[in-house]
């Protein structure tokens, strides 16, 4: 049963520290999405990639957030420096790249707490 995996599942850190979240998309999927979920804002798309190239990162604060795909099996989301307002659950999702009707398969999320 192919699944999106995310590590770590939980992360507690102090303000100012660097945080790196990792995602392994489903093998063969060529689109990867990063979402953030908070009580106040709900689910927000931060960035997405197709064939490892960033297509849209307009939802991501540029000054502290960065997203990359070093290879087809790994996507990373980095926050440097982290702030308490970054506390949220971060989800990665992958898809086969089919236009429009593409199903996005979500990972279990990384719950980030910034103290």
Q: If 0-12 CB within 10 Å is exposed, 13-18 middle and 19+ buried, where does residue 113 land?
A: middle
Shortest Å distance, C-beta 105 to another protein: 8
φ and ψ at residue 40, rounded to 5 degrees: -80, -40
Shortest Å distance, C-beta 81 to another protein: 27
Which one of 60, 109, 112, 114 is in contact with another protein (CB under 8 A)? 109
Angle, CA of 80, 82 and 88, to the nearest 5°: 125
Interface segment toward another protein; rule CB under 8 A; list 20-28, 67-75, 76-84, 91-99? 91-99
C-alpha to C-alpha distance for 32 and 47, rounded to whole angstroms: 8
Which one of 42, 53, 63, 71 is in contact with another protein (CB under 8 A)? 42
Which one of 91, 94, 112, 114 is in contact with another protein (CB under 8 A)? 91
Binding map of another protein across residues 48-67, x = CB under 8 A, - = no contact: x-------x-----------
φ and ψ at residue 21, rounded to 5 degrees: -110, 140
State yes or no: residue 24 binds another protein (CB under 8 A): no
- Token pair 């999320």 is at which residue? 109
State yes or no: residue 27 binds another protein (CB under 8 A): no
State yes or no: residue 25 binds another protein (CB under 8 A): no
CA 1 to chain centre: 21
């Amino acid at each position: 049963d192919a699944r999106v995996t995310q590590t770590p599942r939980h992360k507690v850190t102090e303000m100012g520290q660097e945080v790196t979240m990792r995602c392994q998309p489903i093998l063969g999927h060529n689109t990867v999405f990063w979402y953030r979920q908070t009580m106040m804002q709900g689910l927000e798309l931060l960035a997405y990639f197709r064939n490892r190239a960033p297509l849209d990162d307009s939802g991501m604060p540029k000054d502290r957030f960065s997203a990359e795909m070093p290879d087809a099996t790994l996507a990373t989301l980095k926050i440097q420096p982290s702030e308490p307002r970054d506390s949220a659950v971060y989800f990665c999702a992958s898809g086969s790249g089919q236009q429009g009707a593409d199903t996005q398969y979500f990972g279990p999320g990384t719950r980030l707490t910034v103290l």
